[in-house]
Amino acid sequence: MKRNYLIITFLMVFVLLGCPPPKARKKMPRIFALTYSMETRTEPSFLITDDFNRNHILDLVVVNSGGQSFSFYKGNGDGTFKDQRVFRTGRDPICLVSADFNDDGYKDIGVLNYADQTIQIYLNTRLGSFQKINQLLEPGKIPINMASGDFNGDGRIDLIVTMRFSNVVMMLGKGNGYFSEPKSMDVKGQPTGVVVGDYNQDGMIDVAVALAGTGNKGVQILWGKGDGEFESSKVFKAGKQPLSIVSIDVNNDGLMDFVTSSNSLHALTTIVNNGDKTFDSLRDFASGNFPKFVVASDFTGDGLQDIAVSNATDDAITISLGKGDGTFTYPPIYHREILMAMD
C-alpha cells in the first residue's frame, strides 16, 4: 500500500500541471511546492484531469493497472481531491481519454485495457458516477495509446488508437457512446504515442504518431481532410526512439510543435513546426534518467510553455522551462525531494 501512496504522490505532480499557478513564481530551484498523497488501488500508472461534473474545477481519474480498475476523484479546487470512487475495468488498463462521447455536455471516459486488447467507454451519469457501455471495442493487436477528436466532421467524437507494432486504427463515434468498426491506417514504422491537433491550421484535425523500435523512427503526421480520410506525411526526425509525444508551442509562433522522449537514451527532442507541413528537429537535450511521459504547460505564468517529465529510474519529475525560442533551461529542475519526504 505504501507503494501506491508513493506513486500517487509522483503522479500528483502531473495533476498540478493542469492547474494554473497561483501567481508567477521565481525560477529556480523548485516549481512545485505543494504535495500530498491519496490512496488508490493497486499500481496506479496513468492519469488524466478534466471537469467531469461541470463545476469548473478539475477532477482526477487514475487507472490502477494491477487493480483492474480506475479511480475517480472530485476536485476541491485547491489542488486536493476527495471521494474516490472505483470502477472495474478489463485487465491491465494503461491509458485513459476523456471526451463527451454521447454529446450530452458531460465528459465521459475511455479506458484502454492492454492485456485484453480492448477499449471500454464509461458514460458520465452526471451524478458523480460512470456507466459502462455494453460495446467492447477491439481495435486490433497490441493497442498501446489513444486520443480522441472529431475526424470526420460530424460533430461526434471519434477515437484514434496506436497499435504497438503495426498500424493506427480509427473508430468513428456514433454520438451515443458506441463506435463503428475499426478502420486501419498504415504508418511507416512501429507506433508508440499519439496526439491530435490542427498542425497546419487548416481547420481540420490532424494526428501525430510517434514511431520507435525497428524501422523508421520519428514522427509521422496524418493530415486530416475533415471527412475521416487522412493524407500521410513522411517520417520527420524526432529523436532516436520516441516513446512519448506531447504537442506544445515551443517558440510562441502559434503553431503547435512537439517534444518527444527517448526513454533509454535519457534524451528529449524538440520538433519545430515550420507551418508548411514540414518539421525540423532541434538537437536532443537532456532529461533525467529514463524519461517516460512528457506533459506541457506554462508552469511559471510567463506565457511560455514548459515541460515536465517523469523519469522512471530517478523516481523524479524534472521540469524544463521554455525560453520561447524552442529551447529549454538546463539543467532540468529535479523534484525528487517530494518522494524522499515520503520515506
Among residues 50, 59, 100, 314, the one that binds Ca ion under rule CB under 5 A: 100
- 157 closest CA partner among 134, 124, 185: 124
- Based on the shown chain and the rule CB under 5 A, indicate whether residue 104 belongs to the binding site for Ca ion: yes
Say if residues 214 and 190 touch (Cβ distance below 8 Å). yes
Q: State the minimum distance, in angstroms, from the CB of residue 236 to Ca ion.
A: 14
Q: Is 204 exposed, middle or buried (0-12, 13-18, 19+ CB in 10 A)?
A: middle
- Based on the shown chain and the rule CB under 5 A, indicate whether residue 325 belongs to the binding site for Ca ion: no
Distances from the Cα of 80 to the Cα of 6, 13, 76, 150, angstroms: 16, 11, 6, 32
Q: State the minimum distance, in angstroms, from the CB of residue 295 to Ca ion.
A: 17
Binding region for Ca ion (CB under 5 A) out of 14-22, 61-69, 97-105, 213-221: 97-105
For Ca ion, the closer CB: 104 or 298: 104
Q: What does the block give as the cell for 327?
A: 529551447
- Based on the shown chain and the rule CB under 5 A, indicate whether residue 298 belongs to the binding site for Ca ion: no
- Based on the shown chain and the rule CB under 5 A, indicate whether residue 50 belongs to the binding site for Ca ion: no
For Ca ion, the closer CB: 275 or 331: 275
Binding region for Ca ion (CB under 5 A) out of 18-26, 82-90, 201-209, 262-270: 201-209
Q: State the minimum distance, in angstroms, from the CB of residue 232 to Ca ion.
A: 13
- Based on the shown chain and the rule CB under 5 A, indicate whether residue 98 belongs to the binding site for Ca ion: no
Q: CA-to-CA distance for 296 and 173, rounded, in angstroms? A: 28
- Based on the shown chain and the rule CB under 5 A, indicate whether residue 83 belongs to the binding site for Ca ion: no
Among residues 50, 206, 306, 314, the one that binds Ca ion under rule CB under 5 A: 206
H or E segment to which residue 79 belongs: none
**Rg, Å, the chain Cα set:** 19
Q: What does the block give as the cell for 317?
A: 519529475
Interaction pattern, residues 245-264, with Ca ion; x per rule: CB under 5 A: ----x-x-x-x-x-------
Q: State the minimum distance, in angstroms, from the CB of residue 106 to Ca ion.
A: 4
Q: State the minimum distance, in angstroms, from the CB of residue 85 to Ca ion.
A: 17
Say if residues 309 and 331 touch (Cβ distance below 8 Å). no
Q: CA-based angle 320:276:285, to the nearest 5?
A: 20
Determine the size of the site formed for Ca ion (CB under 5 A).
Answer: 21
DSSP-assigned beta bridge partners for residue 216: 189
Say if residues 227 and 245 touch (Cβ distance below 8 Å). no
- 309 closest CA partner among 285, 332, 328: 332
Among residues 15, 44, 62, 158, the one that binds Ca ion under rule CB under 5 A: 158
Interaction pattern, residues 9-28, with Ca ion; x per rule: CB under 5 A: --------------------
- Four-point Cα dihedral 29, 33, 38, 41, nearest 10: -20
Q: What does the block give as the cell for 40?
A: 488508490
Among residues 152, 176, 247, 329, the one that binds Ca ion under rule CB under 5 A: 152
For Ca ion, the closer CB: 152 or 327: 152
Q: State the minimum distance, in angstroms, from the CB of residue 187 to Ca ion.
A: 17
Q: CA-based angle 298:259:304, to the nearest 5?
A: 25
Q: State the minimum distance, in angstroms, from the CB of residue 156 to Ca ion.
A: 4
Q: Is 262 exposed, middle or buried (0-12, 13-18, 19+ CB in 10 A)?
A: buried
Q: State the minimum distance, in angstroms, from the CB of residue 245 to Ca ion.
A: 15
Binding region for Ca ion (CB under 5 A) out of 50-58, 102-110, 275-283, 292-300: 102-110
- Based on the shown chain and the rule CB under 5 A, indicate whether residue 167 belongs to the binding site for Ca ion: no
Q: CA-to-CA distance for 49 and 129, rounded, in angstroms? A: 15
Could you list the residues that contact Ca ion (CB under 5 A)? 100, 102, 104, 106, 108, 124, 150, 152, 154, 156, 158, 198, 200, 202, 204, 206, 249, 251, 253, 255, 257
